[in-house]
């Protein structure tokens, strides 16, 4: 009887340690989940800001006059690149539309929250058809050392 009473009384050290380990594992799981959620919201906030920056840039370029200096192919890699008029860049490029940094027609580096976004845009003249300009806005930023980029394209008619 006394033996029964002793075994039923409380938890053994092993049981307590086991319970603590299970609790810790559970806690770590919760922490990991929260970290992942914070990372997720942080990333989507950046994507949202990048898309807003791109949309604003594109919107202002859609609003200016067709001959505005801001709508020029400054380095000329998006003009007269399609002599056979098939919509494909004859020298195998992409009318310079995907260019960033010094290769881009325009750049506005270090803007937005923490100056972490770079906005670029390129103009292809008479693409995809004559009297049209293709405008591609690219926004890039670095996410924990990984380069991220979004792009938005618009077509202006004369």
Give the per-residue contact string, 118-137, with Ca ion (x = CB under 5 A; - = no). Answer: ----x---------------
Residue 101: phi and psi, rounded to 5, are 50, -130
Nearer of residues 72 and 116 to Ca ion, judged by Cβ: 72
Of the candidate residues 50, 78, 121, 139, the single one contacting Ca ion (CB under 5 A): 78
Of 157, 158, 139, the C-alpha closest to 149 is 139
CB of 88 to Ca ion, least distance (A): 4
DSSP codes of every residue in 50-83: HHHHHHHHHHHHHHS-TT-GGGS-TTSTTSS--T
**Residue 86 in contact with Ca ion, rule: CB under 5 A:** yes
Question: CA-CA distance, 122 to 136, in Å (whole number)?
Answer: 5
Given the rule CB under 5 A, which residues bind Ca ion? 73, 75, 77-78, 82, 84, 86, 88, 90, 96, 99, 103, 105, 122
């Amino acid at each position: 009887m006394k033996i029964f009473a002793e075994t039923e009384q409380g938890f053994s050290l092993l049981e307590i340690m086991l319970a603590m380990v299970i609790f810790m594992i559970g806690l770590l799981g919760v922490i990991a989940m929260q970290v992942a959620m914070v990372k997720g919201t942080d990333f989507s906030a950046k994507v949202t800001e990048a898309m807003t920056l791109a949309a604003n840039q594109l919107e202002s370029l859609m609003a200016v006059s067709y001959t505005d200096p801001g709508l020029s192919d400054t380095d000329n890699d998006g003009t007269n690149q399609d002599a056979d008029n098939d919509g494909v860049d004859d020298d195998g490029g992409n009318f310079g539309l995907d260019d960033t940094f010094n290769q881009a027609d325009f750049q506005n580096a270090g803007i937005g929250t923490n100056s972490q976004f770079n906005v670029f845009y390129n103009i292809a003249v008479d693409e995809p058809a004559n009297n049209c300009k293709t405008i591609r806005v690219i926004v890039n930023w670095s996410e924990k050392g990984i380069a991220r980029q979004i792009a938005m394209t618009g077509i202006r008619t004369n």
